[in-house]
Amino acid sequence: MIISCLALGSRGDVEPLLALAEGLLLKESLQDLSVRIACRNEIWNDLASCSPPLPQVSHFPIRSCSVDMAVALHAERRSQEPPSKAVGREDVKRFEEEERAELLQACHGADVIVCNLFTLEGFHISEKMRIPCVIVSPCLPPNRMPATFERQFMDEFPLLYRKLKASARGLEDEDALSRPVCWSDVTAWMWRVFLDDHGTWREQCLGLPAIPLDKFEEEGGEPLPQAPLLLLTVSQRLLALDESDQFLAWKSCARFVGNQVRESSKSVELDKELMSFLSSSHSLQAGDRVETSAPSRTVCVCFGSMPSLGFLESAEEKDVDSAEAFLVTIMRGLKSLNLRCVWMLQGFHPTIKSKLERAAGACVHHHFFTFVAHPHALILPHCFAMIHHGGAGSVAAAIRHGCMHIVFPLTFDQIYWAVLLERAGLACRAQPWRSVTDESIKSSLQFAMDHYDIRLAMKGGQS
């Protein structure tokens, strides 16, 4: 049996699929099961360096994406012009066509397709291959179904609309693993498969009708197909703070399976110099006293895959300068409170890396330690707070290890998590990274120190 997992997006979007797959392999001990992970090389290399995958798990490489192309793709999917002159709309269209061809190839011979919400091509491919599809998401998508969608759908597909609504009425009585698709699925996530620009690709490359489910717009005929299983790899404790109707829509048709984080391999160890730095952070030096109840005075700064995806900087010189100024402001705030810091600099422009390391200078062994990448599980137990972008993976890791949060949302679902963390008392109000000042970063760090409660943090770590 072959499971093909299609996972574009950031590391936080890919890791839950890999964690679920490895958990299944370890739990079931299925000798004839193999898992194929289709993702970008840089994400796979990052995951593999932190913890080598199981032998039954293989990587199907999806073409790497330059920073400029990543920014252009994001703009195109929001119906905006690409911001960089280096990448035009024709370049984006060609890249997407080649990428979809690779995703289709990655599913060859598969018995089940698993995909995330950034790779809904998997939904269409499963329809073509007539095999089950599972959707895995580490977050509730920030984009809701457009207000006009239901009316337009009802006007264009009145019979299908009535069938989906009728199916929804029996949702609570159905087994979530084997029930027909219903309007609740459309409201939560399937509206995307009707609005995304996949129609031409479905017709020309997959030989399918341009619109999914359109054959059910007929009297009588076949019953509605089975709904794809929807798994949410998020903490229900944190989501309990969501008071929106969007959460209720997802709750009605999804299964919550908790945060899916891969454990660090015993073969992966901390650099000795870094280990020495982290160990010394628990002992206060003369003149270094900080008024805080936290057991450590070390902060981790990590923006995950965001720099390499173009959301904190792009190849434009002005963006590199802005990102550099942002990081240097963080550094000044840490120094002003006499705090220590470890920096994860993967994905940043080489100019930023070198300047930041020079700025740390002679303090590197005393206050700052810069490095490329290490598993969160090896770093965060030594830290009382984490400065990050609010990605689902970073949020889950920091909660798991009892850290406070200082969040600078960049895109996607990150403002959503920032709001929930504020409601939980684990973070102060988030702010745009471009508007950070010496006073605002100092205030955020002070909040983390003043409100750190090891019992609350560790309780949250068990979510």
Q: Where are the domains of the chain?
A: 2-256, 272-461
Both tokens assigned to 247: 């959460």
Asked if residues 390 and 407 have their Cβ atoms less than 8 Å apart, the reply is: yes
H-helix segments, 258-374? 272-280, 317-336, 350-360
Question: What is the side-by-side strand order in the sheet with 112-115?
Answer: 57-62, 34-40, 2-6, 112-115, 133-137, 229-232, 255-256
- Does domain 2-256 fall into CATH 1.10.3470? no
3-state helix, strand, coil in the chain (%, to 5): 45, 15, 40
| CATH architecture assigned to 272-461 | 3-Layer(aba) Sandwich (3.40)
Q: Tokens 């994905």 correspond to what residue?
A: 347
Query: pLDDT tens, position by position, for the chain (463 residues)?
Result: 899 999 988 888 898 999 998 888 887 666 788 999 999 988 898 888 878 888 899 999 998 777 677 767 766 665 555 555 667 778 888 888 999 999 999 999 999 999 998 899 999 999 999 999 999 988 776 678 899 999 999 999 999 999 999 887 655 555 556 788 999 899 888 998 998 888 899 999 999 999 999 888 877 777 888 899 999 888 777 777 777 777 777 777 888 887 777 766 555 677 777 777 777 765 444 344 444 455 678 899 998 878 777 677 554 544 567 878 888 889 889 888 988 888 887 767 666 666 666 665 544 445 677 665 677 888 888 889 999 999 888 888 888 888 999 999 987 788 888 998 998 889 999 988 888 999 999 999 999 998 886 435 444 444 4
* Domain 2-256 identical in fold to domain 272-461: yes
Could you give the C-alpha distances from 279 to 86, 265, 348, in angstroms and in order?
46, 20, 27
Q: Pairing between strand 2-6 and 368-371? A: unpaired
Both tokens assigned to 173: 């009585």
Both tokens assigned to 85: 């002159």
